[in-house]
Structure 1
Amino acid sequence: MKAYQAYLIDLDGTLYKGDEPIDGAKQFISYLNQQRIPHLYVTNNSTKEPKDVVSKLQTMGIEAKEEEVITSALATAEYITELTPGASVFMLGGTGLSKALTDKGLVLKEDEHVDYVVIGLDEQVTYDKLATATLGVRNGAKFISTNQDVSIPKERGFLPGNGAITSVVSVSTGTQPIFIGKPQTIIMDMALDILNMDLSDVAMVGDLYDTDIMSGINANIDTIHVQTGVTTKSEIEQKDIAPTYSFKDLNEVINELEK
């Protein structure tokens, strides 16, 4: 296996499952920190702030910094700001998204007369919120969704994800949003710009083929699949475009890097 100069790393299914760390996660990040190899955590989760992600990792003994965390909320705020600084936004979502937007100087409004409608995972979503979002898009607001994940793993099982919520507005308006998170290149471009390295020196590490691995493929970087989450080894073998590597877990990745 090639030793890369930097890594983009998924979280859920790669470093942990729910609140439980995955064997090899702490060791892999410790290896990167000891070798001073740059790495960023790239997540589609728009509900959490970077400090929340760091706090969770630290409870698992994984050392991380806020500036190493790239969420779909941060990428969304960056994307809108580059196009329309100071824009008005109606959003569905949690504190991670609202803070990311306001920190960039974007103005949150509670009506449909806005420049942008942004959909993030909102576990308190209501018909009225969906109605306002729908009217905003019909009024000409640019339509953005933090990610297209149709389901998310929870303790009760797979529950509706942001893509499912977004689809309500899409179906009602006949308008498809711009998706920001993995496997789209917008969030990956932001992460790669931060690393500022040759694409051949960077690899994407993740468990889920449709988001993590495809995000790397779409960004033209190598991919490292770990068999600790959603996509199994047998499923990977059926894909038309295979990841660059597939390993049982991050312990195997470390072993390869130390050869």
Structure 2
Amino acid sequence: MNVYLIDLDGTLYRGNEPIEHAAEFIDYLNKNNRKYLLTTNCPLNNPDGIVARLKAMGITTTADNVLTSSMACRDYLLKHHSGKRVFVIGSPSFLEILQTSGIHLTNHLSEREYSEVVVIGYDQQMTYSQLKRACINILNGAEFITTNMDNVIPHGQTFIPHTGSITAAVQYAVNKEPVIIGKPFRHMFDSAVKMLGCNREDCVVIGDRLDTDILFAKNNNIPGYLVFTGVTTHSDLEKSSIKPDKCFNTLKDIIQMETGDIGDISV
């Protein structure tokens, strides 16, 4: 039985508005005791904050069903950099996730204190001083990690810079490629499988973006379902070399496919 890894923005909601049939789809999974994870590249909020935001939109889930790139980053640091000093550009909730897991943060120390790892997340209050400190540490040999490379995030009817834009500024200054944790890369998938306790081959990605969600599926050799409720249009799909395994107009179509009412839209 499919275990769904479900994107948030563009799949369940856009901005602060729920997407049609999103609540119905999550209710269907809950009522049938299905395993699933809501996966987001945005490291800004913790699971409880995401659950509260979804609840305000009429979508009911629990924190156990949420995986963010900040959580995947925590897992990566614990596995590969346990005990090392880490400097982070990120939101207070991101810092809290890392600190409560026993990761040694250096943000509170003098900028002259060397950090062995630099992590770039999404921080709307980021300063030039933080950028400078990140670059100096990386140039002195620190590991360079970013939670994700999404360049923008929806904001009302427009877009604003996201983690990828902050990372790009550091990357340009230090001339070094970062380790990327979030979708479409495998580190996020490793964390998802660990959380779910399922077989890797049982997982299916559902999302609205070809370059993150569907490529996430392809990079991890699992099926990817595209929904036309977010950024990707039929024209975008035709032009792209990244192809989903199935396409759906809405999440309700996935329910109907599972219950035998209709099939998917052919790619």
Is the structural similarity TM-score above 0.5? yes
Query: Which runs of 5 or more residues in structure 1 are unaligned?
Result: none
Size of the alignment, in residue pairs?
256
Residue pair 2:214, 2:242 contacting (<8 A) in 1 also: no
Residue identity in the other structure for 1:169? V
Moved over 3 A (4+): none
The 2-side partners of 1:72 and 1:96 are apart by 12
1:115-134 Cα distance to aligned partner (Å, 9 max, x none): 11110011111111100000
How does the TM-score come out when normalised to structure 1? 0.95
- Tell me what 2:263 maps to: none
- Tell me what 1:226 maps to: 227
- Tell me what 1:32 maps to: 29
Residue identity in the other structure for 2:145? I
SS of corresponding position for 1:63: coil
1:60-98 Cα distance to aligned partner (Å, 9 max, x none): 222211111110001111101111223211111102310
- Tell me what 2:185 maps to: 184
The 2-side partners of 1:46 and 1:194 are apart by 17
Q: Does 1:19 align with 2:16?
A: yes
Question: CA offset at residue 106 of structure 1?
Answer: 0.9
Residue identity in the other structure for 1:89? V
Residue pair 1:92, 1:122 contacting (<8 A) in 2 also: yes
1:157-185 Cα distance to aligned partner (Å, 9 max, x none): 11111111111111111111101011111
Question: CA offset at residue 239 of structure 1?
Answer: 2.3
Residue identity in the other structure for 2:95? S
Residue pair 2:210, 2:242 contacting (<8 A) in 1 also: no
The 2-side partners of 1:164 and 1:59 are apart by 29
The 1-side partners of 2:12 and 2:194 are apart by 23
Residue identity in the other structure for 1:47? L
How does the TM-score come out when normalised to structure 2? 0.92
Q: Does 1:164 align with 2:161?
A: no
The 2-side partners of 1:227 and 1:7 are apart by 17
Q: How does 1:83-232 map to 2 (within 5 A)?
A: 83-110=80-107, 111=111, 113-155=114-156, 157-232=158-233
Q: 239-248 vs 128-137, which deviates more?
A: 239-248
- Tell me what 2:42 maps to: 45
SS of corresponding position for 1:243: coil
Residue pair 2:210, 2:243 contacting (<8 A) in 1 also: no
Residue pair 1:81, 1:87 contacting (<8 A) in 2 also: no
2:73 to 62, 72, 76: 76
Q: CA RMSD in A?
A: 1.3
Question: CA offset at residue 252 of structure 1?
Answer: 1.2
Residue pair 2:43, 2:69 contacting (<8 A) in 1 also: yes
Q: 8-17 vs 120-129, which deviates more?
A: 120-129
